[in-house]
Structure 1
Amino acid sequence: MNASVSALPAVHTATTKISTRRLPSAAQLKQQLPLSDKLREQVSSQRQAIRAILNGEDSRLLVVVGPCSIHDPLAALEYASHLAALAHEVRDDMLLVMRAYIEKPRTTVGWKGLAYDPHLDGSDDMAHGLTLSRELMLEMLRMGLPVATELLQPIAAGYFDDLLGWVAIGARTTESQIHREMASGLDLPVGFKNGTDGGVAIACDAMRSAAHSHRHFGVDSQGHPAIVETRGNPDTHLVLRGGHSGPNYDQASVAKARAGLEKSAIPARLMVDCSHANSGKDPLRQPDVFNDVLAQRLAGDHSLIGMMLESHLFEGCQPLSANMRYGVSVTDGCLGWDATERLLRNAARQLQAQRCTARAIA
């Protein structure tokens, strides 16, 4: 992972308080780091597998799992190697997707992710950040893993959209018309998170909007301003992540969310984010949330198609510094790999037992 496309020198304007540096276009970066025919077929197959889960054609549990954000490429790839081995082992009952978040939304200011500041020093070498992020995703694909991320900056989406199997639109941006338009043009499944208030009405509106075609302002693959025309995306679903009033993964909350989807004539398919407000921002409570949702699914609620976990090599989080611990998140706290592996193996055993029982009865 040594190749990089550099930004051009900064251009300052006398009449504004901004300066600009031109980045390589999405087409240039994709040409420099191409997706092989073999991997292109793999991504297409992975997307179709996730669609099949959403549509009830595949009974496996979808689990998006990985670091809250990626800041250390070596640690991320070590984590991915562990996940790839486990994904193969549990493939009959779960589809594991690597969480590769390279953008992070900030309430005020802070580190915005690998794509923005890959050197972790405020230099904001975005040209290198885009290159490094694409290299990492390609390597994860070579391990056989589907790749997921949150798309925060629509311009950045064009640098990675061909690599992704699943995308999240975050609680802060689900209400954004720009992100709904972007989602309508993505040829892959998209999960819209409920709003920060915990309600699902905003996400329902987002899914209805994304299902329709749009014409909107954007940029083409060469980076030129363009009128973008989209066809609409039918492969969206709701992600429950809790809200200001607390968790929303319990049976009553899931039933309420399902009723809201049905009222809006949206297919009742839900993923639960075991972190954020659902865990009270305590990463070590994620297994409790996961197991509660798993029990609901095992009891017959097949609208619960998946879950999301924030997990890294080691538990907890740490601030950016000169002496950081290897494999520990620098954003939200994460569950460690050992605990994650135990949790997923136990879930696979329960899902397998139910599958075998159902087969015996049939």
Structure 2
Amino acid sequence: MMLPIQDLRVRSVERLVSPRALKESLPLTEAANQTVYASRLAIQRILSGEDKRFLIIVGPCSIHDPVAALDYARSLQALQEELKGELFLVMRTYFEKPRTTVGWKGLINDPFLDGSCNIQEGLRLARKLLLEINEMGLPAASEFLDSITPQYLADLISWAAIGARTTESQLHREMASGLSMPVGFKNGTDGSLQIAVDALGAALQPHSFVGIDQEGFTSVIRTSGNPWGHLVLRGGHKRSNYDPESIQEACIRLLKGGLPQRVIVDCSHANSAKRPSVQETVLGSILEQRVRGTEAIIGAMLESYLFEGSQKIPEDLTELRYGISVTDPCLDWDTTEKLLRQSSRRIRETFSTGC
């Protein structure tokens, strides 16, 4: 008699819509396509040093309400047009959230915030929102946590992140080697830089791994390597890493690894001890370093939403407050607008005086 040994802890298996089917129901438009193409090229030129604008990836810690996210996107798009001479703005559209233990895993995993985990609907909502944002002419950035997700959404992403908890993962390094956009690797949660430097070197090389194709069939994916990987400094458990000494250390590590000396500083997370107001201090410091000649600093990341702070997801979802993060606390829009205008003015003044 055969004894049960398979799927002993699997409650159910549901077949997921294929990437091609989702894209046919929410097809890429010409306007969105042009936004993605032009934005990826602009970011590549910033990374290569050809474009001297400062890259700022800004937006909510996570997307949980597409309506509020669109409100934010409209404000950011208007500011992008005004400040485009000095800044290149990309909106954070993070749909997957890594959890240290347990918790809400993001819009794709649980779009209704109630534990129902309707992933089919989560993917649809994420793609629909990305289409609407890109059709405005505003580029989008996201963290890829699940290796399957890019097949559904990557054609609408201009900049991708590999997070602090997954930078050391071989699977994520392999995935990044095949992504079509620039990819930022964060240093580890303990502040260690070497795992991110190693990840950059790995993603630069060709890889072969198991994934899915556009029909959803399990396939062998063979990549050519991603030349646009770069380091994202987000601090660690014991200290921040945006000061001049930390930037210099990062550049030395990159140089030793034979990698371009290009870094983005995450003004949130451990660099601000997750206190929204400290992001202003971090941004001011790295901008001052940049205008004084530290060209390795090519950009910054800010966590910002319509209103300041964060909230827990209530049992009664009607009590959820509009435009406030349900994950890490964020800057409010008014403060964000002020910071972006100040940054643009500081860079413009530097260019005009030739300093």
Verify the 8 A CA contact 1:313 1:328 in the aligned structure 2. Answer: yes
User: In structure 2, how many angstroms separate the alpha carbons of the residues matched to 1:196 and 1:73?
Assistant: 29
Report SS of the residue matched to 1:105.
coil
Matched, 1:70 2:63: yes
| Counterpart for residue 262 of structure 1 | 255
Q: Is the 8 A contact 1:218 1:225 kept in 2?
A: yes
State whether structure 2 residue 8 is matched by structure 1 residue 16.
yes
* CA distance in structure 2 between the aligned counterparts of 1:188 and 1:50, rounded to whole angstroms: 9
User: Letter of the aligned partner of 1:246 in structure 2?
Assistant: R
Q: Shift of residue 206 of structure 1?
A: 0.5
Deviation at 1:15, TM superposition (A): 4.9
* CA RMSD of superposed structures (Å): 1.1
Aligned residue for 1:172?
Answer: 165
Verify: 1:287 aligned to 2:283, yes or no.
Answer: no
Q: Which amino acid aligns with 2:196?
A: A
Q: Distance in 1 between matches of 2:75 and 2:120?
A: 29
Separation of aligned partners in 2, 1:42 and 1:313: 24
Deviations 1:132-151 (A, max 9, x none): 00000110001111100000
Between 146-155 and 349-358, report the one with greater CA deviation: 349-358
2:318 pairs with 1:326 = no
- Alignment of 1:102 with 2:95, yes or no, is yes
Q: Which residue of the other structure, out of 28, 45, 50, is the alignment partner of 1:57?
A: 50
State how many pairs are aligned: 347
Structure 2: which amino acid aligns with 1:98? M
Deviations 1:225-247 (A, max 9, x none): 11110010000100000011210
Paired position in structure 2 for 1:224: 217
Closer/same/farther in 2, CA of residues 77 and 38 from structure 1, 3 Å limit = closer
Choose the corresponding residue for 2:37, options 40, 44, 48.
44
Amino acid corresponding to residue 329 of structure 2 in structure 1: G
> Deviation above 2 Å: which 4+ runs of structure 1?
none
The unaligned stretches of length 5 or more in structure 1 are: 1-12
AA at the equivalent of 2:52: S
Structure 1 CA distance for aligned equivalents of residues 107 and 218 of structure 2: 25
The 8 Å contact of residues 246 and 280 in structure 1, kept in 2 or not, is answered as no
Q: What amino acid maps onto 2:243 in structure 1?
A: D
Equivalent position amino acid for 2:179 in 1 = L
| 2:83 corresponds to 1:90 | yes
SS of corresponding position for 1:155: coil
Q: Deviations over 1:185-204 (max 9, x none)?
A: 01110000011121211011
TM-score by length of structure 1 reads 0.94
CA distance in 1, matches of 2:282, 2:34: 35
Deviation at 1:14, TM superposition (A): 7.7
Is 2:132 the partner of 1:123? no
Distance 2:127 2:180 in 1: 18
SS in 1 for 2:277: helix
Deviations 1:179-221 (A, max 9, x none): 0010000111000001112121101110111001111111111
Change in Cα spacing, 1:15 to 1:190, as seen in structure 2 (3 Å) is closer
Alpha-carbon distance in structure 1 between the residues aligned to 2:277 and 2:146: 30
Query: How far did residue 38 of structure 1 move?
Result: 3.4
Task: Please name the residue that 2:298 is paired with.
Answer: 305
Deviation of the 1:357 alpha carbon: 1.7
Structure 2: runs of 5 or more not aligned: none
1:257 and 1:275 map into 2 onto residues whose CA distance is: 18
Hey, what's the Cα distance between the residues in 1 that align with 2:95 and 2:193? 26
| 1:37, distance to aligned residue in structure 2 (A) | 2.8
SS at match of 2:307: coil
Measured after TM superposition, the shift of residue 40 of structure 1 is: 1.5
Q: Which amino acid aligns with 2:308?
A: E
C-alpha separation between the residues in 2 aligned to 1:215 and 1:23?
A: 24
Structure 1 equivalent of residue 352 of structure 2: 356
Aligned counterpart, 1:271:
264
- For 1:273 and 1:49, locate their aligned partners in 2 and report how far apart those are by CA, in whole Å: 20
Secondary structure of 1:28's counterpart equals helix
Q: Distance in 1 between matches of 2:348 and 2:6?
A: 66
- 1:347 aligned partner: 343
Q: Is the 8 A contact 2:61 2:330 kept in 1?
A: yes
Instruction: Please tell me whether the aligned partners of residues 111 and 118 of structure 2 are also in contact (alpha carbons under 8 angstroms).
Output: yes
SS in 2 for 1:347: helix
Is 1:145 aligned to 2:146, yes or no? no
* Paired letter, 2:338: R
SS at match of 1:98: strand
How far did residue 39 of structure 1 move?
Answer: 2.3
How many percent of aligned residue pairs carry the same amino acid? 53
Distance verdict in 2 for CA 1:259–1:349, change over 3 Å: same
Distance (Å, rounded) in 1 between the aligned partners of 2:134 and 2:6:
45
